[in-house]
Structure 1
Amino acid sequence: MSILLHEDPSPAQSQGHQFLAAGLISCLASASIGTVLGFSAILLPQLESEKVVLANSSEASWIASLSNIGQLLGALLTGWVANQFGRKRAIMLLCLPLAFGWTIVGLSRGSVHWICIGRVCQGIGIMSSVTQVYLIEIADVNNRSLFGASGALSVSAGITFVYILGAICHWTCVCGVCGGLVILVFLSMLGLPETPNWLALQGQKEKAKEVLEWLHGKGNSNIQSELEALQPNASESLLDEEQPSIGSRNEPNKLWREFKKPEGHRPFLLLICIFFLQQSTGSFAVIFYAVTIFQDIGVASNPYLAAILTGCIRLLGTLLGTLLAKRYSGKWLMFTSALVMALGMFLLGLNILGIEKMTTPEANFLTINTLHENHLNVTFDAETPTQGLFDDSSQNGSILSEERIKWLTKLLLVLPIVEIVLYMLAFGVGVGTVPWLLLGELCPGSIKGLTSGLTVFVAYGTIFVVVKLFPSMISVLGQPYTYWVFGMICLVTALFTVGFVPDTKGRTFQQIEAQFRDPISEAFESTQGSEQMASNRNVSSM
């Protein structure tokens, strides 16, 4: 089956194998996703300094957003491959275009056309949906939230990692390091098993049992019950007929019948809405243009340092979200997260609006020299009168001392960083973590590969639109109103979460499916079931 499964570990050793598998997938595969997402933030400033592209140009926006076009194609491919050939093979297959993309960009010698082709290949190789499904399906009920959230944590780590590399290395060196990471992903997958859920769907009960024993411990008394819990999904997908071979003509019809069931299409439509709102909050605009955003705000002394700080804060937020998901409801983590994100965006817009107002001649408040000394990127018309604004001999005299003006301008530089940090921290705690956990939980196993691929297709399509339009929004609406738009979307996300997102904590896949099949009757039963499971865990820990 796989290299690691040929071992015969003791029960004590095998208890940790689900953590070993999750660690490899999270630390390598999910981190490789983050490197692609964060790459444009360090690539574009270096290309601008090399006079390859102009800041805020159409070429720059295409380089930043084209990976999302590849992700659209990759999402559709991933869903089909994961359903037909398994989650493990899908991850290994996606390593090929991802490694190819890093190679093309690294050898492009600054050619915009080759960089764009490489970015598309990188996007095709991004394996977000299938890695998340793999993490969820190898975990037991008690660790499912932790494993599901760990994927988002490692994506944040990958983003921060590429920010740091970009601050100290040329972008071609970054391509080499990230391409090497993809090779490690491929090699690590050779030693990991297929998920028991997919094996059960293929009627391979003995292999599914073997994998469960390897993941959760050979002496684990819950193995048989876990195996039996997987069988209804498999039997439903076969519709009491003999299982067809992979690629059978009847397969599309069977998938369609599964999708038409309430527990098939309802969670899928819900996931579409969740991911559309998640990606519309603007988080990836901040990630893709991190260095440029801080340059525009005025942090011109070391925008890379500010971007690294943002990545570290996002990583910290995702770490908190991962730990909190183990203890608290994902639904309320997502709600609180969206509210705090809205606060951060509204404050950022107000802050930038204040800077713009205070640096106009009518404000009689700041001098151009003071702004330039403190690295505020503010321009005036050639005819703007600047003499006498702070001249003690003027009629009104100076409003503020020079020292206080310098202190105020430094404060105005710090506040945007604080507000973006608040926004990214909150994103990692809930909005950036919980949807990926739900992606592996909500849809039935028989169509999970397909629905997760389609959901990620919509997600990356939304990212493409947001990232591509972000520079235009800044130009047309201005920075304050652009960030206020994102703030309003964060508020909508919070309200939608309260009204429609289910609480899946401590519930089995069968209970989640039953909730969508009959939401009213399941509400009472699931509450009782969750209380009973909590009681059982307390008893077992005594």
Structure 2
Amino acid sequence: MSKEQSENGFETISVPIHYSTSELIKKENPGKKAPQYIAGLTASLAALSMGNTLAWTSQISEELLEGQLGFPVTVDELGWVGSFMPLGAATLSLFIGPLADLFGRKLSMLLLIIPATLGWCLLIWPQNLAMLYSGRFITGMVAGAFCVLSLIYSSEIAQKEIRGALGSYTQMMISSGILFANVMAKFLSIKGFTIACAGIPIVFGAIFIFMPESPIFLMKKDKVQQARTALLRLRGEDYYVEEEIKEIETSLKEYQMHSGMAIVKESLKKSSSQKACIIGLALMIFKSANGMDAITAYTSYIFENVKMGLDAKYGTIILNVFQVGSAVVQSLVVDKLGRRLLLWLSAAIMTVCLILVGLTLTLKEENIVAEEYHIYIDYIPLIALVVFTIAFSLGLGPIPWLMMGEIFPPEFKSLAASVATFVSWIAAFAVTKMFLVVEDNLGGDIVFYIFAVITTIAVVFTLALVPETKNKTFNEIQQSLN
């Protein structure tokens, strides 16, 4: 210890802080973030294909109804064309976890390019309705798997300081894929724009093949040296990897100790685990049941029926531009504003927007407003849906995916995430299929009022039960659930 003279004349005692060698090395070399951003962004290119798949029907609904594929499609059949995509995604979601553990995150995504190409070929050259349904189902399976695997990969390669940002890239790429598909569909034939969509998984594979495998997966397979190499590529050559290697080893040992159905059953007896399951499942249902998937699938169809004073396809593109922009903003603020605030604020704004769309349709359908005054309300649906899309992209779209990895206990995280994803896609399937049925039988305004009720419930649920998980360890999150 050394004595120093302070400004007020008193002697102060200076105590040196001692760091271990590893702590000093880690303090001086916290790791480069750029390689992680690049790897996460590259992995999320797979989600670009999901956006293409979601939006495939968005701009061509009217053309499909007119029989431009060479065979007629009814409104009910159009509902199946739109909804087979989430049904396919739900089917594979139950098996994607074991697939990723068997082949690895990287190889699994690369292998999925094969069925993706097959599915898109069925959509490029459909000869009948069965081929159309099959193409949508297969591309849906691959799109859902791509989305989950890119999220797993990004979360496993990222340091905790940028985990939220990398997780947000998936939603940003989904939005970008939707925009890409809708722009292509506006200016190309159905076959031309479908070929453009089919090329995205191939481009993704050509870039992603150069990225490292997840260090956590490599450690699971006892490939310690390969895990070190992967960490050095992701953190920089000067990064001290041994401490993180030990952390991963400890985490995997704890996971092995807490694996098995007996331990899962024991864990589910805890109130914190039960609340985590309720929250995770509910958020994934809210994510899909708010109407965003149906609006994405039938955007131009909706705008055509609203009869606003703007070309429906241009309206769809405008909507998508704002969606991409808000997804970019979300990736910048998610680790600053927090998950809970963005969730309830997102759902609240979406509720207001859905009510506005519903009211506009009611005023028009019931002839409450004279036709000469429609010009004053024609653009309300477009503006409301733009704000709705922005709000969705900031909170209720990406955050449920992110929170699944944060609140589920490690002893059944994979199982719970698979079930939650399955339930979410089933909800998306039901909403997408029933959208046109309800719209045709009860009116478009009723559809939007139903969605508004769901988002209102999401606001109340978030405020009452959802904890903040920003910058919190798993133990801190569990304590907040007790």
Question: TM-score, normalised on structure 1?
Answer: 0.77
Match 1:463 to one of 405, 428, 441:
428
Match of 1:195 in 2: 214
CA contact 2:290–2:455 (8 Å) conserved in 1: yes
Match of 2:477 in 1: 515
Match of 1:116 in 2: 133
Letter aligned with residue 208 of structure 1? A
**Cα distance change on mapping 1:285 and 1:520 into 2, 3 Å:** closer
Match of 1:429 in 2: 394
CA distance in 1: counterparts of 2:106 and 2:263, whole angstroms: 21
Q: RMSD over aligned Cα, in angstroms? A: 2.6
Match 1:38 to one of 40, 52, 55:
55
Partner SS, residue 186 of structure 2: helix
CA contact 2:65–2:74 (8 Å) conserved in 1: no
Q: How does 1:177-188 map to 2 (within 5 A)?
A: 177-188=196-207
CA distance in 1: counterparts of 2:332 and 2:64, whole angstroms: 38
Deviation at 1:114, TM superposition (A): 0.8
Letter aligned with residue 41 of structure 1? S
Match of 1:391 in 2: none
Match of 1:478 in 2: 443
**Cα distance change on mapping 1:301 and 1:515 into 2, 3 Å:** closer
**Cα distance change on mapping 1:13 and 1:229 into 2, 3 Å:** closer
**Cα distance change on mapping 1:513 and 1:65 into 2, 3 Å:** farther
**Cα distance change on mapping 1:435 and 1:457 into 2, 3 Å:** same
Deviation at 1:192, TM superposition (A): 1.7
Deviation at 1:254, TM superposition (A): 8.1
Partner SS, residue 154 of structure 1: helix
CA distance in 2: counterparts of 1:275 and 1:128, whole angstroms: 14
Match of 2:101 in 1: 83
Match of 1:415 in 2: 380
CA deviation profile, 1:437-493 (whole Å, cap 9, x unmatched): 223333356654443333221111110000000011112332222111111111111
Partner SS, residue 39 of structure 1: coil
- Is 1:148 the counterpart of 2:148? The answer is no
Question: TM-score, normalised on structure 2?
Answer: 0.86
Match of 1:232 in 2: 250
Match 1:21 to one of 34, 39, 45:
39
Match of 1:245 in 2: none
CA contact 1:201–1:233 (8 Å) conserved in 2: no
Letter aligned with residue 255 of structure 2? S
Match of 1:402 in 2: none
**Cα distance change on mapping 1:188 and 1:254 into 2, 3 Å:** farther
**Cα distance change on mapping 1:236 and 1:266 into 2, 3 Å:** farther
CA distance in 2: counterparts of 1:207 and 1:82, whole angstroms: 17
Deviation at 1:230, TM superposition (A): 2.1
- Is 1:160 the counterpart of 2:169? The answer is no
CA distance in 2: counterparts of 1:314 and 1:161, whole angstroms: 12
Q: What percent identity do the matched residue pairs reach?
A: 22
Letter aligned with residue 251 of structure 2? N
Partner SS, residue 40 of structure 1: coil
CA contact 1:355–1:412 (8 Å) conserved in 2: no
- Is 1:174 the counterpart of 2:193? The answer is yes
Match of 2:13 in 1: none
Match of 1:355 in 2: 364
CA contact 2:285–2:423 (8 Å) conserved in 1: yes
Q: How does 1:80-479 map to 2 (within 5 A)?
A: 80-109=98-127, 111-126=128-143, 127-221=146-240, 223-239=241-257, 253=261, 256=264, 260=268, 262=270, 267-299=276-308, 302-358=311-367, 365-366=370-371, 405=372, 408-443=373-408, 447-479=412-444
Partner SS, residue 220 of structure 1: coil
Partner SS, residue 327 of structure 1: helix
CA distance in 1: counterparts of 2:140 and 2:314, whole angstroms: 26
CA distance in 2: counterparts of 1:258 and 1:16, whole angstroms: 41
Comparing 261-270 with 279-288, greater Cα deviation is found at: 261-270
CA contact 1:156–1:315 (8 Å) conserved in 2: yes
CA contact 2:123–2:194 (8 Å) conserved in 1: yes
**Cα distance change on mapping 1:444 and 1:208 into 2, 3 Å:** farther
Deviation at 1:68, TM superposition (A): 1.4
Match 1:72 to one of 84, 90, 105:
90
CA distance in 2: counterparts of 1:283 and 1:463, whole angstroms: 9
CA distance in 2: counterparts of 1:46 and 1:477, whole angstroms: 24
**Cα distance change on mapping 1:426 and 1:469 into 2, 3 Å:** same
CA contact 1:202–1:234 (8 Å) conserved in 2: no
Partner SS, residue 505 of structure 1: coil
CA distance in 2: counterparts of 1:146 and 1:116, whole angstroms: 35
CA distance in 2: counterparts of 1:41 and 1:337, whole angstroms: 23
Deviation at 1:513, TM superposition (A): 4.6
Match of 2:453 in 1: 488
CA distance in 2: counterparts of 1:105 and 1:300, whole angstroms: 32
Match of 1:540 in 2: none
CA distance in 1: counterparts of 2:410 and 2:197, whole angstroms: 32
CA contact 1:136–1:441 (8 Å) conserved in 2: no
CA contact 1:337–1:427 (8 Å) conserved in 2: yes
Deviation at 1:266, TM superposition (A): 5.1
Deviation at 1:306, TM superposition (A): 0.7
**Cα distance change on mapping 1:70 and 1:259 into 2, 3 Å:** farther
**Cα distance change on mapping 1:169 and 1:297 into 2, 3 Å:** same
Comparing 447-456 with 50-59, greater Cα deviation is found at: 50-59
Comparing 173-182 with 223-232, greater Cα deviation is found at: 223-232
CA contact 2:294–2:432 (8 Å) conserved in 1: yes
**Cα distance change on mapping 1:347 and 1:301 into 2, 3 Å:** closer
CA deviation profile, 1:13-65 (whole Å, cap 9, x unmatched): 96521122112112x21111100001111232222233567676211111111
CA contact 1:334–1:430 (8 Å) conserved in 2: yes
CA deviation profile, 1:382-432 (whole Å, cap 9, x unmatched): xxxxxxxxxxxxxxxxxxxxxxx3xx3222211111111111111111111
CA distance in 2: counterparts of 1:209 and 1:102, whole angstroms: 38
Partner SS, residue 326 of structure 1: helix
**Cα distance change on mapping 1:279 and 1:454 into 2, 3 Å:** same
**Cα distance change on mapping 1:259 and 1:112 into 2, 3 Å:** farther
**Cα distance change on mapping 1:112 and 1:435 into 2, 3 Å:** same
